[in-house]
Structure 1
Amino acid sequence: VRFRQTEGWYEYGTGNPAHWGHIFTATFLPEDARLTARIIPKPLHRVTKAAVSKKYKGGQDAAFIAYQSGKYPTFPEDILRHSIEQFKLQQEILAGEKEGKPAPYGYRPDTERQWAQLKAITRELRDKWGLNLHESVAHSYHQTYLLYRTPLSAEAMVNLTMGAAMPIYNGGLFSATFRHFDAQRKRPGLPENVAVLVGRQSICPDTGLLQAELTLCNLHTSQKRELIIQGGAYGEHEIDAILLHGDRLPVGSRWMHLSLTPYSLEKLVVFLRRQVFAPTLEVPF
């Protein structure tokens, strides 16, 4: 029920950090960052458990915007620690449920018959399969399975390696500045031993290009790594040029192939012309 509905599907509501994360990454304008800072409560401008959305474990959007605005330099370390702690907590929850600890019911059984069915199912799980689950856990698995139990925590990876906000739960389209591919193994994702950090992103007022700071590191001590960087989650952005060691090098493609020497670290600025190509799921090999 839309209590604040004005006309059609429009309604007034309080600010949601996830929505502001997508507004900011659609524009990268400082005024949208300032608006986020004004609307979203101040405690959420730092990585905090209070911001976590139960369903997809994201929610640190205001903190990500603060980082992109240069106001939160320790965000990368904080979000990584948060993700590791989140993983450990989810593991503890799963282990506790196996020992018989209860879980939130969500939607409880409505009738005595449903309660009786739940008791019977819980008893069968114990007697037939040796699962000592609390009734609430058996019911929760029936309702949501792994929705609240997943130990996966992707937000740090999405923020730091793709320069993006998490997709909004319930079918939100994923949008990102970068996507990475392992050129040697010909598969999506970063090559083994390679770390990537997307720094500040902003719109150049003179050219309208998005400029993004990028740090690349090959941690292997004796082997080079081949990396392909794509502009946009679906190759929709053109990588116009890069600034490397003070030299501006033209690219002019949705893909950029980089070779990282052993035990090396490179810092560059990538200039992107956004929304140039039709989005595609095509891969670069």
Structure 2
Amino acid sequence: MMKLAAEETWDPPHWALMERLLFDTLNQAAVEFVNRYVRPDGTLIWRPDWPGMDGSDDPYEGFMYLALLYVLGGSDETLELAHKVWEGITWQWTEYGQISREFDAYYDWMHHGEGYLYLYFMGLADPDYLKNRQRAKRFAALYTGDDPEAPNYDREKRLIRSPINGSKGPQFDLTEEDWSTHRGILDHYPAPFEDVPGVDYALGKCPWSDDAVYKEIIQMMNQRMTRGDVPLNLNATGMVTHAYLYAGQESYRDWVLEYTAAWQERIDANGGIIPDNVGLSGIIGEYMDGKWWGGYYGWRWPHGFLTIIEPLINAAANAVLMTGNMKQLDLARSQLDLIWELRKEEGGHPGLPLVPYKHTDGGWTDYRPANPMHPIHLWFISMADEDLERILRTGLDESSLEVHIPGLSGASKGSYQSTKHYNGNTIPWFQYMQGNNPNYPTRILEANYQLIHNQLRKMRSPEGDPEEWRSDGFNLEDLSSIHKWQEMCPVYFEGLLQMTLGAPMHVSHGGLQHASVRYFDALRQRPGLPADVAALVESVTASELTLQLVNLSLFERKELVVQAGAYGEHNFEEAVMYNQQGEVIQQVEVRDKWICVELAPGAGTRLKLTVARYVNRPAYESLWPDPHKGDILKGRTN
């Protein structure tokens, strides 16, 4: 491995001081957060019962960033807490009756996708953890057709057999109890069908809380929605890719390519539009009277294009990660181009064309400004001019430079309005990468610190007292407590991740965390930046990136390894080292996915790294070989 040494003093920039302040603050906040809401055995201080299929994703979401913080350079304790809480939640929701064999018994892949981000982050944080390596193989088997107890996948038709699936297989018949905890929320959404008795679809709301309407909806869903495949199931490629990153088995890659190819064929067969429902026989619109729209989490209900394009992006990015073939992105590009072709130039947003987000029996509807966040994720994977054009055509304005602090400031176009996942600054980060937002590092890191402060105050308030969320019985009024851990969580660090990894945050409904680079502490032999070291990815292009590294300790030398890509999928071809005055100190050939950098006390450097992208097999494995790699525990066969 090539090793570079930076000896010259580097005046510490404000962003570097803010990064290390964030690490210190997050490490402490993580401990306080867990102590506030988690029992010593890892289970959550919460209610004694939880009916319905909704909700097992939410506790995982509330605590999943413990593992990702460790990946960036968080304390050893954050990883210990991450393991402890995952095991506790899994046991607890098994007792509630929703998790079976350590995986959600049945729900959809919007919610599976959100909750199992926790496992994907654990793979990056601790690839040698035998339990999770074994779980990855077992969970992938739920969707590849290799688990006879969960026949979710039809190999012949290349389809996942229901939108509602999991460790108990496809669920074709849902009950009133299954949807019981979601009724109050769904009151505010349009009806799932346009012909629900007693409901005026044009009003845009559907009273799920009305018992008579509720019975009709469940019956109609079981007749029309619960059998066959939907685009949302493409998020299952994340779980199979997760297993591939542990094991490297070609069968996992082949399944992802097979399943994504099946959806591309359905797009082609449907005139370029992805159908949102495919019957068990493989026929588009089989249970919808031939309509290609109207499926579960499809073009009509409830979110429209959002829950179609995100699984397409996730699946396409997974396929590129495993093959390096950028044509795989056409799966998602085609649908971005489709709605763009249907745009209206006039509307309520001066200067911004509007694109349809939904299709009902009356045709295309719900016109909104195109969201640049979706093509930004494609551009980050491809670095292609065509994806850059897909971003720019949406019409970025001054608001695209704004930093968003959930609950405190106006959101950039396309940002989320809540603290959930704190994934609201993809667009201003892109502008920074384009050289249009030079003050972004300082602004986003300061905003990130302010968010943590606000979250800690909320967590410490009476509103954050877990004893107030408990209930001795089921009632609709206290169901919002299932989201409380996300609302109170102070362990959010979008800004820190963007600056250090040179990447946007993952797509929050099931996307793997991609990166330009990631780091390992060479002396402690663990993932993440060493203590006192700050990193800033200043620019990324198709062939190179610029990275600044600073050692804020005036007493200790630091040694870190920089890896090309989150999973070592890239290679560094050449490295040029600069001092703070911009003078070249050293220029070397690398030709490796790793480069080691030694930083003297108070020293720093700017590296310009030439990159060959997607040339290595991606893997979770770290630099230091696991002596037990490949071990899998096996049970009796009879």
What's the TM-score once normalised by structure 2's chain length? 0.36
Of residues 69, 77, 85 in structure 1, which corresponds to 2:434? 69
Q: Does 1:264 align with 2:603?
A: yes
Give 2:383's aligned amino acid.
Answer: F
Structure 1: how far apart are the matches of 2:516 and 2:391? 20
Match of 2:379 in 1: 24
8 Å CA contact retained: 1:224, 1:262: yes
Letter in 1 for 2:590: V
Structure 1 or 2: larger helix share?
2
**Superposition RMSD in Å:** 2.9
2-side partners of 1:7 and 1:268: how far apart?
A: 43
Classify the secondary structure of the residue corresponding to 2:485: coil
Is 2:449 the counterpart of 1:84? yes
Q: Does 1:140 align with 2:496?
A: no
User: Structure 1: which 5+ runs fail to align?
Assistant: 106-113, 120-135, 204-209
* Aligned mate of 1:179, from 500, 518, 524: 518
Question: In the alignment, residue 140 of structure 1 is paired with which amino acid?
Answer: S
Question: 1:40 deviation in Å?
Answer: 5.7
Q: Name 1:126's counterpart in structure 2.
A: none
In 2, are the aligned partners of 1:18 and 1:168 still within 8 Å (CA)?
Answer: no
Q: How many pairs does the alignment contain?
A: 249
Indicate conservation of the 8 Å contact 1:24/1:65, yes or no: no
For the residue of structure 2 that corresponds to 1:39, the secondary structure is: coil
Residue 229 (structure 1) aligned to one of 562, 576, 582: 562
Q: Does 1:250 align with 2:583?
A: no
Aligned residue among 18, 36, 58 for 2:423: 58
Match of 1:8 in 2: 275
Report Cα offsets for 1:228-251 as digits up to 9, x if no partner: 000000000011111124343111
Hey, what's the Cα distance between the residues in 2 that align with 1:159 and 1:150?
19
Moved over 6 A (4+): none
Structure 1, 267-276 or 52-61: larger mean CA deviation = 52-61
Aligned to 1:123: none
The aligned counterpart of 1:47 is 403
Q: Please report how far the alpha carbon of residue 71 of structure 1 lies from its aligned counterpart in structure 2 after TM superposition.
A: 0.6
8 Å contact kept, 1:18–1:59: no
In 2: Cα distance, 1:36 partner to 1:93 partner: 36
**How far did 1:117 drift?**
3.8
SS in 2 for 1:146: helix
Which of 189, 201, 215 is the equivalent residue of 2:528? 189
Partner SS, residue 79 of structure 1? helix
Q: Contact 1:222 / 1:262 at 8 angstroms: preserved in 2?
A: yes
Q: How far apart are the structure 2 equivalents of 1:283 and 1:265? A: 25
What displacement does 1:263 show? 0.6
Distance 1:2 1:38, change over 3 A: farther
Alignment deviations for residues 75-114 of structure 1 (CA, whole Å, 9 cap, x no partner): 00011011011112212222234478xx9x9xxxxxxxx9
In structure 2, C-alpha distance between the alignment counterparts of 1:250 and 1:7, rounded to whole Å: 46
Give the match for residue 313 of structure 2: none
Please tell me whether Structure 1 or Structure 2 has the larger radius of gyration of its CA atoms. Answer: 2
Per-residue CA distance 1:47-68 (angstroms, 9 max, x = gap): 1231453321112111011100
Unaligned runs of 5+ in 2: 1-191, 195-269, 277-334, 340-356, 358-368, 406-410, 579-583, 625-638
Offset of residue 152 of structure 1? 1.4
Deviation for aligned residue 1:29? 4.3
What TM-score, normalized by structure 1, do the two folds share?
A: 0.78
Deviations 1:115-156 (A, max 9, x none): 97449xxxxxxxxxxxxxxxx6x5333x22412221112211
What is the CA-CA distance between 1:222 and the residue it aligns to? 2.2
Deviation at 1:27, TM superposition (A): 2.7
Deviates more, 1:52-61 or 1:13-22: 13-22
How far, CA to CA, are the matches of 2:522 and 2:473 in structure 1? 56
Residues 67, 140 of structure 1: alpha-carbon distance in 2 compared, 3 angstrom cutoff? same
SS in 1 for 2:449: helix
Paired position in structure 2 for 1:96: 461
Using the aligned pairs only, state the percent identity.
26
Q: Is the 8 A contact 1:45 1:66 kept in 2?
A: yes
Q: From 135, 149, 163, give the equivalent of 2:488.
A: 149
Query: Is residue 63–residue 75 contact of structure 1 (8 Å, CA) maintained in 2?
Result: yes
**Residues 192-212 of structure 1: per-residue CA shift (max 9 Å, x gap):** 110111001123xxxxxx211
Q: CA deviation at 1:219?
A: 1.0
CA distance in 1, matches of 2:435, 2:595: 27
Contact 1:17/1:61 (8 A) holds in 2: no
The one-letter code sitting in structure 1 at the alignment partner of 2:519 is: H
Q: Per-residue deviation at 1:15? A: 3.1
1:201 matches 2:201: no
